[in-house]
Structure 1
Amino acid sequence: MMKNECSVVQDVLPLYLENMVSEGTTVFVKEHLENCSDCAAEFERLKSGRQIDEAAPQREHDTDVITAVKKKIAKKIFKIVAVVCLVFAVLFCAVLFYTGISYPVTKESISLSTKTDSEYTYIILETKAGKSLFFESKTEDILNDHNEVCGRRIVLYNVQYHNSFTKNTSSMSWGKPLNDEKPYLEVIVELENDTLQISNAE
């Protein structure tokens, strides 16, 4: 008799779990579960499976929310990176434009001078503040009256100024040891409408 009841109860357990049986059947199943460990175990198994099934849609919903949030964050990061790259590109182009503008060099905007210490004699070229000096150069031997090499001549040509971010003057120098066998040193700066020349003999 008990086995027949178990068979009937287990058949209606899914409906009982969903509250889809009559009041009399509910009382009957409840009393049976209190006295039958096998059916009670089956009921717990069905109830656990139902809880898992109910939780699954919530997990899927949570996953969808997390995915959507990740996409929004990725879009924001992409926009920020794009804006930063654009700003750097604009600044880079502005720097290139600013420093790429060239100006003619006049004799009033550069100076040549000489300096001698205990070991060397120098020729110093000093530039205008806030400008960078660009030029091409060539080196020639200086010959004396006997057609012998007695020194070195440095010629600067295609001389131009470019904008610079520094507000200080800059300088460059050329030197010769005082005990050099060919101590003579000369610098010539060929400007657009003028020529500057100086030597360490002056």
Structure 2
Amino acid sequence: MKKELTCSIVQDLLPNYIEKLTSDDTNIAIEEHLDTCEDCKEAYEQMVDDIDNIEKIPVIELKFLKKVKRTRLLAAVLCVVLTLVLSCLIYVSEYKFTINKSDLSAAITEFTASYKNPVDAYVLETKEMDGVLIVSFKDQFNADVYGIAEFLGGFNQRYRIVRANIESSDYSSVVQIYPVEIKDEQYIAVSGYNLSNEIMYYGLDYYTYSSPGYLSEDRARKSIKFEVKNPQFLEFYHVEELDSLLENSVEESFYNYHLVTTSMYDADGMEITEKYRNVEDDDLRVSSGSGKAELFLIYVYIAIVMGLGIIFTRYFLTE
């Protein structure tokens, strides 16, 4: 007669039974015992539940960790995107003007609104060099007021205005000079407007001195002449180029020369500047601009935004 298993033996065998490590005969004996013993059956069911729970816990934790990691990664990506968007918005809010003359005119008008003598600008000519756009303009409501504005080009193919010089003219045919700086190089911008057909040359006039010092009796006026190719123009000359032309144009020695004004000449080389003089007018010369300080602040703001973006991105990516 087959000997029945005791409860202690069955409960010792249950772990192996659950893991299917016992033989067929042992399985039959255990199952017959479980059918008749409530205590062992309850112990068996408890063991099965415990094993199921142990298997589920790592799965739940793994899913939770994956969800947290995915959330942190998404947050880091959003930080990067927001940083780039905010930086771009700051940048394009400054570099917002196109090369279109009406757009440039509006920029100059807006920029000079705070001047003592603001202008309603009308752009005449534009010329770009090394990312710097020089624009000549006139005031639409003051016939004798002209100027030069300086724009910086941006990565978005647009410009921001950084400086504007306004100057009145006593002449109906206008040739004016403006010093400009491009990439730390000094240039003279020459703007011509409404030049008569009689005017064949314009001159850049220097005061020079025949001896060191600034005695009035030693002072003389020397001119460098350039051909007028169009009645309206905008030209650049490097300061060193002009100095060389001036030095080569005279035979005698001179000192302490500096550019002071312009002049106009006919086909025979006779000066006819005074022929085009209007009534005397007050000098409205104004020179102002945001300069490098404001431009520096733009990059500071962008750097702050990007710095914060990097900090938050690293925070979300750090385990």
Q: TM-score by structure 2 length? A: 0.32
Q: TM-score by structure 1 length? A: 0.49
